[in-house]
Structure formats: C-alpha cells, structure tokens
Structure 1
Amino acid sequence: MNQAKRIALLIDTATSWGQGLIEGIASFARDHERNWLFSIEPRGKYDRMLLPPTWRGSGVIARLTHADLANQLISLKIPAVNVSWYSLGASVIPRCTCDEQAAGKLAADYLLGQGYRQFAYCGSTLRTNYHDRFGEAFRSALANRGRECRSFQPEPAEFAQLDSEAQLRRLSDWLVELPRPLAVLAFDDIQGRQITEACAQAGLLVPQDIAVLGGEHDQLSSRISSPELSGIDQDPLEVGYHAAEMLDQLLRGEPLKQFNQMLPPRRVVARRSTDKIALPDDMLSMAVRYIREHAGENFQIEDLLAEVPISRRAMELGFRKHLGRSPREEIRRARIERAVQLLCDTDWPVTRIASACGFDRPELLTRAFRRELDTTPSKFRKRGGRPAHTQSECDA
C-alpha cells in the first residue's frame, strides 16, 4: 500500500465555495485512489491562515490571501496550489481558481439580459491590497455595450472600523442616490446580503427598485437574505478537483500541464433578488416573462403573439434594441438556461431534460449546448461533480 501523504487544506469551511473546494479535492483523491490524509480545521472566510510551525506534510492547497502565508510556503519549499483570486507568489506557487474576468462578464450578460440599463458595483469592503479584476471585467463588459457603472468602493480599513449599523447607513446613503431601476453586482454574497439589508433600511424594494446579484453563490447567505439572493456559481467542485490534480502532479514530480488554471464559472443561480424584467416597454417585458415561464413547453412565436398584444414587427425590433437578440434567440436562451438548472439541480436523464425544456429530441438539446456553451449536457453535468446519467447516449 502506498504511504499516506498529509495534505494541508488552508481553506475556509464556512461558505459553499470553501466546502465545494474541499469536496472537489476529496473527489480527486477518491477517484484516483490517492492515500491522502487531510489536515483541516473549521475556518471562517476571512480567517488569517498559516501552517502551524510544527506541521510536517507533503503538500498544501490554500486560499492565499496574505503575503505571510505565501512567504511561508515559498520558504518551506513545499508543493502548494493557490485557489484564491489573490495572485500572491504568482511566479512560484501555481494557481487554480475560477476565472474572475469570465465571472464578471457573465454577471454583466445576465443583468443586461434582464433588461437593465443602469448599473452599479459594490466591491469587497473586507479585502486589502487586492486587485479587483472581477469588478473591472464587469464594468468593461458593460462599457462595451455602451453602459456606465457606478461603484461603491470605500477604503477597506476605514470601512472595517465602522460598526455594522454605520456600514449599513453608508450603503443606504449611496443606494438612495442612484437612479432606478438599477442592477447592483456585489463582490460576493456577504456584500450582496449587506446590500439587500441596506435597501430595506432605505425603503428600497428588491428587486422592484434595485436588483442584487452576488458575485458568488453561498447557500446560507442566499437563503437568509430577504429576498433570497441570486449569485454566480463559481464551480468550486471543479476548481477543487483540478487543484488537487495539479498538486498530485507536483507530488509525483511531473511537469504541470498549466501553471495558472482559470476555470469558467458554471452559471447564475437566479433567486428572487433579480426576479424582474426591467425593459422600458410593458409589452416587451410581458413577452420575455412569457418566454421564461413557458421555456419548458414547445411553443412557437405565433403562440407568444397570441398571448401578448404586440405586433411581430414591434416585438422583433424591441428585442433587438433592448436585449440584443431576436425573440427566437431569447426562446433558445431560456430553454438552455432551464436545461442548465435541471442538469445542476436534478439527476434526471438528458432525454427527460430535453423534453422538459421544449426540445423535440435530445439531439436538439445537445446541438444547442454545443453551439451556445461549447460542451454537451453530460459533460456540463460531470463538470460539477455529478456523474452523467446512463441514459444520455445522445451526447456521444
């Protein structure tokens, strides 16, 4: 039997992101029959982590969020992989994490698709010395579509000195001065939940006045937010799995296939905090709402026109002007989004999912996935740690 290797996981256990990372790491070790013994302790997201001075082990997977930890790992010359958005020790310590720029673009595309034309970004108020590429990518994607984005970015050390009520007042004062309807992207779900609370204190309705999207999807933060908070699924299971694969290569003395591996976010998990179609025309909003509510049905444009009192020409022009796509493209987009949700949240076979998303045949769903997402339904599902169902032969 191979000698056990001790692997330190310097990762928080208090968020869905951290828990998903750890699950992904454990999945790799199990799938590849690695005899790894994990050193791990209960930790909060912003706990300052270091290896204990007396720790002796084989490798480390860590959220490198401060220079002391990076310097410790470099000085110990221990195989390590960074799973943080911080790029500390970037020339020495390989990194595997969610692509923050892709996540920022996904957020912009989603909120634009909801019909919003006014935007704001709330960066992290808890991270010092951090280059926020996520927020930059969000603003850049909006600018490419001719949209401005306001920002709330107080100095983290100064903001941290305020008590929670004073912080909420600062946020509330900022929010009430912004135009509405407005879509706000928060750096993470901690900031997102703080924004929904600040809206409540300021008498602003979510999502009627302000839609709020979290930059990650943390199940607890989402559920205790009022209303429930939408967020970006950064695919921590996949990140953890690939980070473990990279560490395994280091432990075996193999060259890394990629020194910096940036994995795409998986999806937007839509909850009530963004459940609003913010188009300026009520008939267009009604049409989009009808499409999304009936995405599981095999309806045609004629069926849509029978339900919404608008001409085909006006609908075509309105969709292209405000959403940048045709009604038919919006229908396909809504069906794919529903398929993504079912692939993530159920163990239904692809044949059943195709039928539940308005596709006559499973092959049509597979074709749509290849065109829009550059993958197949089964490969997409497997990416998140859920094995493909045996009945999804249409992906072959």
Structure 2
Amino acid sequence: MRSQPLVQLDGSSEIGLEESLGLFVALREALLTGGPQGDLDASVLCQRVLIQTGTQPSPGAIDAREKDTRLLSALREAANLPLTLSQLAASLKVPVPELRHAVQSATGVGPKELIIQLRMQRAQSLLADTDLPVQRIASLTGYDDPAYFSRLFTKKTRSSPSQFRREHRRAERAEQHTWDV
C-alpha cells in the first residue's frame, strides 16, 4: 500500500535519497534497453535495491523494538515486586498478551520464567554477598512465603539457599585469599 511503504526512502540511511531513487531510474533504463546486457544490468540493480532495502529497518520495526526494550527494562526493575503477571502488565500499561510476546521474542522464555530467573539471580547475589536471613531474601525477591522460595530456589539452582550461601560466600573467599598471600 502506498500510504504504508515497507521501507521509507527518506535519505536517513547511509545511502541518500538521491542514490536510492537513482537505482530505480537506472533499473528502468536497463529494462528499457533489453537484450542480454540490459537483463544483466537490471538483475544487478535489483540485487542492489534488495540489499539496500534489507539493511533499512522499517519505522514500525524500530518502534516495536524500542517498545520491547522499554518493556523488558521495566519488567527487570519490577521483577522483585510480589505482583501477578496481570498486575505487572497493568503496571506497565500493556495487555498481558503483548507483554508475553515482547518477552518471548526478546528472551526465548515467557514472562513468568524470566521473572523467576531474575529473582533467582538477585537471591544468589544476596546470599553470596550478605548475611541476611533467607526469610528476608525471600521477601526482597518477591516471595511472601519463605518455604516456597526455598523450594523454588533449590529446584532452580540444585542447592538450598543455605548450601548455596556456604559454597558461594564472597566475603569468606576474599578473607581466605588474604590469608593465602
């Protein structure tokens, strides 16, 4: 449709508007020339047009990518809040299906799984870097039930929170290295 071109030739790309339009003028001339040389020239020019248009994302694609990036950023910031997926989508002012699609296309996992991954990463960091009780870490990562948090943490990391803390304690490692010197 002319009102919604696949690629906008506005000269904003590396190849200017005049050069873009020049390809079409040269293509028309090659087609009018005909014969083997005209066919060869037209073929080469078609390839150049395809390459040029393929390197220019459509304005709609740029807007969608920017929106998806903003959604993912906001989701990462809100991941530790104890919200349901529908509450999270509402706080981000998008419908749940749009949130699902944006997260799935950007990360390869659904929003619930991404939230769990983000929460587990934060929990691991808190366990390794602080002496906070597991109950407090559960709360800080969006879980009201510490027992559920512990079961989920164990399932995802294959070690309990206390075992993970013992094995990954960053402060102890730093102290051990100073004694080794």
TM-score by length of 2: 0.53
Q: Which residue of 2 aligns with 1:61?
A: none
TM-superposed CA distance for 1:305, in Å, is 1.6
Larger Rg: 2
For the pair 1:346 / 2:130, whether they are aligned, the reply is yes
SS at match of 2:154: helix
Whole-Å Cα distance in 1 between the matches of residues 118 and 162 of structure 2?
Answer: 19
Q: Using the aligned pairs only, state the percent identity.
A: 30
Q: Which residue of 1 aligns with 2:157?
A: 373
TM-superposed CA distance for 1:313, in Å, is 1.6
**Map of 1:190-339 to 2, 5 A cutoff?**
281-339=65-123
Change in CA separation of 1:294 and 1:341 when aligned onto 2, cut-off 3 Å = same
TM-superposed CA distance for 1:310, in Å, is 2.9
TM-superposed CA distance for 1:358, in Å, is 0.6
Give the structure with the larger strand fraction.
Answer: 1
TM-superposed CA distance for 1:344, in Å, is 1.5
SS at match of 2:115: helix
Query: Contact between 2:123 and 2:137, CA under 8 Å: does it hold in 1?
Result: yes
Whole-Å Cα distance in 2 between the matches of residues 297 and 314 of structure 1?
Answer: 20
Whole-Å Cα distance in 2 between the matches of residues 306 and 335 of structure 1?
Answer: 20
Q: Which residue of 2 aligns with 1:137?
A: none
Give the structure with the larger helix fraction.
Answer: 2
TM-superposed CA distance for 1:292, in Å, is 2.0
Whole-Å Cα distance in 2 between the matches of residues 314 and 297 of structure 1?
Answer: 20
Change in CA separation of 1:311 and 1:281 when aligned onto 2, cut-off 3 Å = farther
SS at match of 2:163: helix
Query: Contact between 2:138 and 2:146, CA under 8 Å: does it hold in 1?
Result: yes
Change in CA separation of 1:332 and 1:375 when aligned onto 2, cut-off 3 Å = same
Deviations 1:197-227 (A, max 9, x none): xxxxxxxxxxxxxxxxxxxxxxxxxxxxxxx
RMSD: 2.0
Deviations 1:265-305 (A, max 9, x none): xxxxxxxxxxxxxxx62332223222322233201212222
Query: Contact between 1:286 and 1:308, CA under 8 Å: does it hold in 2?
Result: no
For the pair 1:384 / 2:160, whether they are aligned, the reply is no
Change in CA separation of 1:346 and 1:291 when aligned onto 2, cut-off 3 Å = same
TM-superposed CA distance for 1:370, in Å, is 1.8
Q: Which residue of 2 aligns with 1:31?
A: none
Return 5+ residue gaps in structure 2 as ranges: 1-63, 173-181
SS at match of 2:118: helix
Query: Contact between 2:81 and 2:141, CA under 8 Å: does it hold in 1?
Result: yes
TM-superposed CA distance for 1:375, in Å, is 0.9
Q: Tell me the number of residue pairs that the alignment of Structure 1 and Structure 2 aligns.
A: 108
Deviations 1:25-60 (A, max 9, x none): xxxxxxxxxxxxxxxxxxxxxxxxxxxxxxxxxxxx
For the pair 1:359 / 2:125, whether they are aligned, the reply is no
**Map of 1:137-148 to 2, 5 A cutoff?**
none
Whole-Å Cα distance in 2 between the matches of residues 300 and 334 of structure 1?
Answer: 15
TM-superposed CA distance for 1:364, in Å, is 1.6
Whole-Å Cα distance in 2 between the matches of residues 288 and 281 of structure 1?
Answer: 10
Query: Contact between 1:296 and 1:335, CA under 8 Å: does it hold in 2?
Result: yes
Whole-Å Cα distance in 1 between the matches of residues 155 and 65 of structure 2?
Answer: 30
Return 5+ residue gaps in structure 1 as ranges: 1-279, 388-396
Whole-Å Cα distance in 2 between the matches of residues 337 and 313 of structure 1?
Answer: 25
Change in CA separation of 1:307 and 1:286 when aligned onto 2, cut-off 3 Å = farther
Change in CA separation of 1:319 and 1:295 when aligned onto 2, cut-off 3 Å = closer
Query: Contact between 1:316 and 1:327, CA under 8 Å: does it hold in 2?
Result: yes
Whole-Å Cα distance in 1 between the matches of residues 76 and 105 of structure 2?
Answer: 19
